Amino acid sequence: DTGVSQDPRHKITKRGQNVTFRCDPISEHNRLYWYRQTLGQGPEFLTYFQNEAQLEKSRLLSDRFSAERPKGSFSTLEIQRTEQGDSAMYLCASSLEAGTSEYEQYFGPGTRLTVT
């Protein structure tokens, strides 16, 4: 257990439905990342938050995807009108930023999404 939790761990949904995932980072971590990983591949960056500000989004993140981090604590990732190609493991990671120093990322267990 890295201290980063994600909910739910598994989600099965029908094509066209909306889904929302939650990530609770380690409490003092101000950086939060969302990634997507498909079977046999490395993770792909989706988006990055520094505190409550969303500072970078991947071009992979179509307008059906939205992420929030209200109050700089937990974060949610919503996928609207899901498609079969959205089936993947969605990973959240958090880290601490102090000045210009960078620290290791702590990954959550992931939410496995299956779109039928």
Partner 1 sequence: KNEVEQSPQNLTAQEGEFITINCSYSVGISALHWLQQHPGGGIVSLFMLSSGKKKHGRLIATINIQEKHSSLHITASHPRDSAVYICAVRFKGTYKYIFGTGTRLKVLA
Q: Contact between 109 and partner 1 (CB under 8 A)?
A: yes
Query: Are the beta carbons of 115 and 84 closer than 8 angstroms?
Result: yes
53 strand-pairing partners? 50
Query: In the complex, what is the shortest distance from the CB of residue 100 to partner 1, in angstroms, rounded to a whole number?
Result: 9
The answer, yes or no, to whether the previous bond of 8 is cis (omega within 30 of 0) is yes
42 counts as binding partner 1 under rule CB under 8 A = yes
Please select the residue that binds partner 1; options are 82, 108, 113, 115, rule is CB under 8 A: 108
Q: Is 22 in the site for partner 1 (CB under 8 A)?
A: no
Separation CA 58–CA 53 (nearest Å): 15
User: Which DSSP symbol is given to 9?
Assistant: S
Q: How far is the CB of 3 from partner 1 (least distance, A)?
A: 12
Return phi, psi of residue 31, to 5°.
-105, 140
How is residue 72 written in tokens?
């700089």
Cβ at position 5, least distance to partner 1 in Å? 11
Q: Quote the least distance from Cβ 109 to partner 1, whole Å.
A: 5
Q: Counting contacts by CB under 8 A, is residue 72 touching partner 1?
A: no
